[in-house]
Structure 1
Amino acid sequence: MEAPKLTIARARELRRRPSLPEALLWARLRGQRLAGLRFRRQHPVGPYILDFYCVAVRLAVEVDGRVHDDPDRQAHDERRTNWLNGQGIQVLRIAAMSVFQNMDGVLEGIRLRAADPLHHAAHGPPPPEGEE
């Protein structure tokens, strides 16, 4: 889905000024360093900008700071996640503090989520009723 021009311009600006947790995580994701996955940073999708996005597995990784603890922000995040899921994009939310305190765990969580896509390919037709 194409993003509005204003969203694209905002994404470019965000790439120039990442938060510290985003910069640290990007240093570990860039250049296909995580399981050969190629991530984009501050990637516009529709009206939203994704912190990190892997096209191959349709995975968005969002680094959430304390502002995301606010109930209004949580409601917005839920609407955003639902919209992205409707576009076939799964969303993994990571607390910014986790990036500082447990980078290896964060990377492993991303790797595991990428290995388990939102939409699984069909494995043939279902078995006839009564058979398994």
Structure 2
Amino acid sequence: MVSTSIRRATAKRLRADTTPHERILWRALRELPTDGTHFRRQAPIGPYVVDFFCPAKRLIIELDGGHHNEAETAQRDQERQGWLEREGYRVIRFWNSEITAHLNAVMERIYVELYGARDAEAVRLKHLRRR
């Protein structure tokens, strides 16, 4: 497994080099009208660094560009997602084009993942640290 310091350094570098689509989603996530919703970006989890992570709901959001259509990359994504799901995380994926063309629908899907329904009342989320 990759050391913690290497994963943290990688996450820091990725935060500094965000893609335009990650910046758009990050701004939208920060404006979610919900009390207590907290997302981290480029968060190290196990041997991976995920794009966005809500610890309180163990929800991971991944953005995929066109290179994720390639067989080798798609296989790595599938293995990575399988590992994260076995560890108890929920992973949702969006294509970069969805961020550009359908940001409201993306945000609605994220809201539903957080609270269970589109019209559900937002409740304060609490992050319980696992030991």
Question: Which has the bigger relative contact order, CA under 8 A and spacing at least 6?
Answer: 2
How many residues in Structure 1 have an aligned counterpart in Structure 2? 114
Q: Does structure 1 residue 35 correspond to structure 2 residue 28?
A: no
Percent identity at matched positions?
Answer: 32
Q: Does structure 1 residue 62 correspond to structure 2 residue 62?
A: yes
* Distance change (3 Å), C-alpha of 1:57 and 1:93: same
Describe the SS at the equivalent of 1:56: coil
* Distance change (3 Å), C-alpha of 1:3 and 1:58: farther
Partner of 1:101: 101
Q: Could you tell me the TM-score, scaled by structure 1's length?
A: 0.81
Taking the TM superposition and a 5 Å limit, the aligned residue runs for 1:1-132 are 4-30=4-30, 33-36=32-35, 37-116=37-116
Unaligned runs of 5+ in 1: 117-132
* Distance change (3 Å), C-alpha of 1:72 and 1:34: farther
Q: Could you tell me the TM-score, scaled by structure 2's length?
A: 0.82
Supply the distance in 2 between the matched residues of 1:16 and 1:41 (Cα, whole angstroms): 11
Partner of 1:129: none
* Distance change (3 Å), C-alpha of 1:51 and 1:3: farther
Shift of 1:86: 1.0
Q: In angstroms, what is the RMSD of aligned CA positions?
A: 1.6
Shift of 1:115: 2.5
Q: Deviations over 1:40-94 (max 9, x none)?
A: 0000001101100000100000010001101111111111011001111010000
* Distance change (3 Å), C-alpha of 1:92 and 1:3: farther
Supply the distance in 2 between the matched residues of 1:3 and 1:34 (Cα, whole angstroms): 36
Partner of 2:129: none
In the TM superposition, structure 1's runs of 4+ consecutive aligned residues that sit over 4 Å from their partners are none
Supply the distance in 2 between the matched residues of 1:89 and 1:3 (Cα, whole angstroms): 21
Supply the distance in 2 between the matched residues of 1:53 and 1:40 (Cα, whole angstroms): 5
- What amino acid does structure 1 have at the position aligned with 2:95? A
Unaligned runs of 5+ in 2: 117-131
- What amino acid does structure 2 have at the position aligned with 1:94? F
Return the index of the structure with the highest Cα Rg.
1
